[in-house]
């Protein structure tokens, strides 16, 4: 999620200059100004997922900033690297273990959430163009969605793909501009059919829909409401829409510490990992809080599983990319199918 600040042009230029450099740190190297990082265990079941002594690593710092955070980590397994978004800079960044962080692509239309479809093509939620796109294997761009019933989308934020090719995405309004009469009057969650022929509004009563994730068996769709600081869960109907009567609050991730529910992922046995107050919360499939990864940053903007065994949990904050190693794998992201 991007939160724009109302600041002067002079202050904006000063911050842009200050944020111009990218500081790539060694694994485990933290800024001296950051609070102590730690793993908090709320339930013995956490031990099967994560050691309380596991180090929390900072990989790179100095990206993003007040005008737009680092976001959307997605592991590119066949290449052995991670892609992620630097929204305000409109850049797609690349982290390769042992090589550090580099710029992978310029001019991404301020892309936010990223994922891959069944063919391994990159899907992106673009803020600047207010659309969801797919990058084909030949490099061309296909627009998945940019309007609904004749009105432009707000600011597509996060996206997931079901195993049948169905695409789900959130569309909050996260812009300093006042919505115009031709814009949406609500913030929605949408479903796109695999052939891209039908765009369906699933729900429109979120104060700010943000991250979303499917359970491993794809029977449940989890959706964050960042403003209410909780996760809602819906069972999926056979046609891929939401069974509205199953709407429930899965977990409240508020609290006195900074941070709201934002990016969210699920491991192969159904545990949910989500940013919230104080860090990354780990919950079992019933919503019980098992523990919290306190990484010392004021917000967790998104998370993603990666590494050769999918047991590395990467996380992004406003300015930082970090990681922590788990004992259980996350649900894998598809790779490109061979011709």
**Tens digits of per-residue pLDDT, 245-293?**
999 999 999 999 999 999 999 999 999 999 999 999 999 999 999 999 9
According to the model, what pLDDT value does residue 34 have? 52
Contact 210, 262 (CB under 8 A): yes
Q: What is the pLDDT of residue 5?
A: 31
- What pLDDT score does 335 carry? 87
Contacts for 194 with CB less than 8 Å, ≥ 6 apart: 164, 165, 166, 167
Could you tell me which residue, 336 or 45, shows the higher pLDDT? 45
* Whether the predicted pLDDT of 15 surpasses 60: no
Residue with the bigger pLDDT between 267 and 23: it is 267
Q: With bands split at pLDDT 50, 70 and 90, how would you rate the model's confidence at 122? A: very high
Given a cut of 60, is residue 107 above it in pLDDT?
yes
Per the CB < 8 A criterion, the answer to whether 54 and 38 are in contact is no
Confidence (pLDDT) at 65:
63
State yes or no: pLDDT of 4 exceeds 70.
Answer: no
Specify the residue for token string 């529910």: 261
| 3-class state of residue 246 by DSSP | helix
Tokens 């790779």 identify what position?
335
Question: 186 by DSSP, 3-state: which?
Answer: coil
């Amino acid at each position: 999620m991007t939160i724009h600040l109302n600041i002067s042009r002079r202050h904006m230029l000063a911050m842009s200059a200050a944020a111009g450099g990218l500081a790539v740190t060694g694994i485990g190297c933290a800024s001296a100004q950051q609070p102590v990082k730690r793993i908090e265990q709320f339930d013995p079941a956490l031990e099967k997922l994560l050691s309380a002594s596991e180090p929390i690593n900072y990989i790179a710092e100095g990206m993003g900033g007040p005008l737009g955070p680092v976001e959307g980590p997605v592991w590119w397994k066949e290449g052995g690297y991670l892609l992620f978004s630097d929204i305000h800079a409109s850049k797609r960044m690349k982290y390769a273990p042992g090589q550090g962080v580099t710029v992978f692509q310029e001019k991404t239309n301020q892309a936010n959430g990223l994922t891959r479809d069944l063919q391994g093509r990159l899907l992106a939620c673009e803020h600047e163009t207010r659309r969801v796109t797919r990058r084909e294997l030949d490099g061309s761009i296909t627009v998945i969605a940019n309007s609904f019933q004749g009105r432009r989308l707000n600011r597509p934020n996060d996206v997931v793909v079901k195993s049948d090719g169905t695409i789900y995405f959130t569309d909050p309004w996260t812009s300093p501009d006042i919505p115009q009469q031709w814009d949406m009057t609500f913030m929605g969650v949408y479903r796109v059919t695999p052939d891209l022929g039908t765009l369906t509004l699933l729900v429109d009563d979120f104060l700010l829909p943000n991250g979303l994730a499917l359970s491993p068996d794809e029977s449940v769709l989890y959706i964050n409401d960042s403003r209410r600081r909780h996760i809602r869960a819906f069972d999926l109907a056979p046609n891929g829409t939401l069974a509205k009567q199953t709407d429930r609050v899965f977990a409240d991730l508020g609290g006195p510490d900074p941070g709201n529910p934002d990016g969210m992922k699920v491991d192969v046995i159904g545990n949910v990992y989500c940013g919230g107050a104080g860090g990354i919360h780990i919950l079992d499939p019933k919503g019980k809080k098992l523990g919290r990864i306190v990484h010392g940053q004021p917000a967790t903007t998104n998370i993603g599983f990666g590494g050769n065994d999918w047991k590395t949990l990467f996380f992004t904050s406003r300015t930082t990319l970090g990681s922590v190693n788990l004992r259980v794998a996350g649900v894998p992201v598809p790779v490109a199918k061979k011709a």
